[in-house]
Amino acid sequence: MHTLTWLAWLAAAFGATVLAPNPLYLCLIFLAATQVFLAWRGDSPLARSFGLFVRAGAYVCASYVLFSVITVGGARGATALATLPALRLPAWLGGVVLGGPITAEALAWGFTRGLAIWALMVIFGAFNALVDHHRLLRLAPPSLFHAGLAVTIAVAFVPALLRSIGEIGQAQRARGHRFGGPRSWPPLVAPLLAGSLEKSVQLAEALDARGYGRASGGGLWRQAMLILGVPLLGAGAFVWLYYGQASAPAAGALGAAGALCLALAMRAVGADATRSHYSRERWRRRDSLACAACAVCLLALLALRLSGRGDLVYYPFPSLMAPGFSLWAGGALLLLAAPAITSHREPPRARRSARLR
């Protein structure tokens, strides 16, 4: 699929999670993202990193439930389940009350918030496993090329680390080593650290050999624009927040001047980033269908949220109740699985050529 299609799917899934924080709808989003990953996954290390996001999201969800129990600090909800010893922290620690009565409403609220974070991690895990990071880097504006390259290298760190762990583990097992408790980890950790340092040095040498970070000229002028633009923006925000609407003209002038300085500096930075395109992605019919489905999903949820229908928001207080469900909202969320339906479909011309062979 096209990289822009994956970005549209990511934006739609993220917006759906924000607009519909209902546990039933969050489960639908979770399943849709998992189905998209299963339909498009490959054998690359990025695909194998999806399970890491799922497990990390499960731990985050469990921690939300645990914190909802520990930091209740009072009776929240009508359905009391148990009572823990209460402890009030000092004022310099915030005065938070730990413990107290545990209610079913607090547990449901903690699980709902944790499930939302879990769904977001699954969405970003699927996006990280399926998108081509090199093509994603090409979509970045020239002024943000260096930042995009740093982000791309950081995102590829987890799959590379998992691949190195697997290779070192296989080599040590072939030598007769058996991994068990913490005492058996040094034969894995030491080669992993040495290999990571060696790859870092190789990456730095490769970037330096390709002239990364070298400017053609005008570096002092760009730095002056950046140094001048940030204080001007800060001064505009301070004047607006401190003096109120009466200072709107002055705050607007300062903010506009700061934004202009930053824009000129970013334009100068982008002029030094020269990139070549060896092959361009083709926009296919499945990309149009997937983007249309994502747009319909987001617009439908936004209309339901603005009209107050669909039971998109779940709030279990003051008494626990089952979350509502709307067929309209559920059908809109199912559109997030549209990329899974259009996966691995060849264009008609390719199918005709295959039949002729």
Threshold 0.75, pTM exceeds: no
CA distance between the termini of the chain = 26
The distance of Cα 336 from the centroid of its chain, to the nearest Å, equals 16
pLDDT of residue 351: 41
- Nearest residue to 228 via CA among 194, 264, 197, 185: 264
pLDDT of residue 218: 54
How many of the other CB atoms lie within 10 Å of CB of 26? Answer: 24
- Nearest residue to 83 via CA among 91, 75, 95: 75
Residues in Cβ contact with 15 at an 8 Å cutoff, skipping those fewer than 6 apart: 298, 301, 302
pLDDT of residue 95: 67
- For the chain, the 3-state helix, strand and coil shares in percent, each to the nearest 5, are 70, 5, 25
CA distance 129 to 39: 12
Q: How far is CA 249 from CA 57, 122, 219, in A?
A: 46, 45, 32
pLDDT of residue 347: 45
> pLDDT 10s digit of each residue in the chain, 357 long?
889 999 999 999 999 999 999 999 999 999 999 999 999 987 776 777 788 899 999 999 999 888 887 775 555 678 888 887 877 777 776 667 777 788 888 889 889 999 999 999 999 999 988 888 778 877 877 777 777 777 777 767 767 777 788 888 888 888 888 887 777 888 888 888 888 888 888 888 888 887 776 655 556 777 788 788 889 988 988 888 888 878 888 888 998 998 898 888 877 777 666 666 566 788 999 999 999 999 999 999 999 999 999 899 998 888 888 899 999 999 999 999 999 987 654 444 444 444 444
CA distance 84 to 54: 31
Residues in Cβ contact with 64 at an 8 Å cutoff, skipping those fewer than 6 apart: 110, 111, 113, 114, 117
CA distance 4 to 11: 11
